[in-house]
Amino acid sequence: MQQNNDQIQRFIFDATDIRGEIVTLDQSFLAATNHQHLSPWCKSLLGEFLAAVSLLSETLKFDGLLTLQARGDGDIPLIMAETDNLGHVRGIIKPAASAPLETLDLGDAALPDIIGNGVLVMTIDPKIGERYQGIVPLENGTLAECLSDYFERSEQLATKFLLFSSPEKCAGMLLQALPAQKVKDQAEREDKWNTVVQLAKTVKQEELFELDHATLLYRLFNELECRLFAGKTIQFKCGCSRKRCANAITSLGKQDALELIEQQQKIDINCEFCGTNYTFKRKDIDTLFGEDNQPLH
């Protein structure tokens, strides 16, 4: 049986106005998390965000970068997952000073309790056009419930997210009602939607992790004319670079950069997403700013 690891696929129901996405992250998830020295519980939490941002990327259809970020004052004040339209994902999870990531385990704590007093923010940075940002209320216990409610309110379309994660793998499914085309009667539309959602909610984590997408969807929806489309590959890829780090240093100004060099003999910048270290010494600072104390372009 061929699995669909590190793939996202769209599916539709031919007899009604409902669409869906299904994603399973395996090696991309491990590559995005292994260098961060996370506890199994933290890995699973970040996995939900990586699965969610992958589903969002195919739902919103953009050309650029999409970020899903939870910020607050709780034991985990920051969780961030990013993807682009090419299927490149990365993410980080940062604890409060008193909550070491290597051992942190909050059990079945609700997402608002984990994040504390804060917000869930979805941001789209398109290559062309204006930046979009949506605030998702942290009013439900899970990320899936928060996103489902947000889309129902903002898009005026019934939406259901299902997210699953372990320390080794994460997966998710999205269902969304479409504007009435095939089925016009409102009562019939609601009945079909409820049927699809109830069937989807029977899915188990091990099924999403172990079965290929076609087999799983047939097992869930074999009487509903479900059609699965070709998959798109998801992979871990970090957008950090030495040039971006250099730009961060030039934004400090030459005087502050030189003071850091005097104190530390070098400036080290570590990427939290991939663990790459970028080192800048005195000669690098001189090259960055040039003899006229102005950044080079």
The tens digit of pLDDT for each residue in 143-175 reads: 999 999 998 888 778 999 999 999 999 999 999
E runs forming strands in the chain: 7-13, 18-25, 64-71, 78-84, 88-94, 119-126, 132-136, 159-165, 170-177, 226-233, 235-236, 267-270, 277-280
pLDDT reported for residue 291: 55
% of the chain residues with pLDDT over 90: 66
| Mean pLDDT in residue range 13-37 | 95
Residue 253 predicted with pLDDT over 90? no
pLDDT reported for residue 100: 82
| Mean pLDDT in residue range 48-66 | 92
pLDDT reported for residue 187: 93
**C-alpha span between 132 and 223 (Å, rounded):** 39
pLDDT reported for residue 296: 36
Across the chain, mean pLDDT equals 91
Contact 151, 120 (CB under 8 A): no
| Mean pLDDT in residue range 16-25 | 96
Q: Return the DSSP state at 292.
A: T
pLDDT reported for residue 161: 97
118 pairs with which residues across the strands?
Answer: none
pLDDT reported for residue 191: 95
pLDDT reported for residue 2: 55
The tens digit of pLDDT for each residue in 174-207 reads: 999 999 899 999 999 999 999 999 999 999 999 9
**C-alpha span between 276 and 205 (Å, rounded):** 33
**C-alpha span between 90 and 214 (Å, rounded):** 26
| Mean pLDDT in residue range 99-128 | 91
Specify the pTM.
0.90
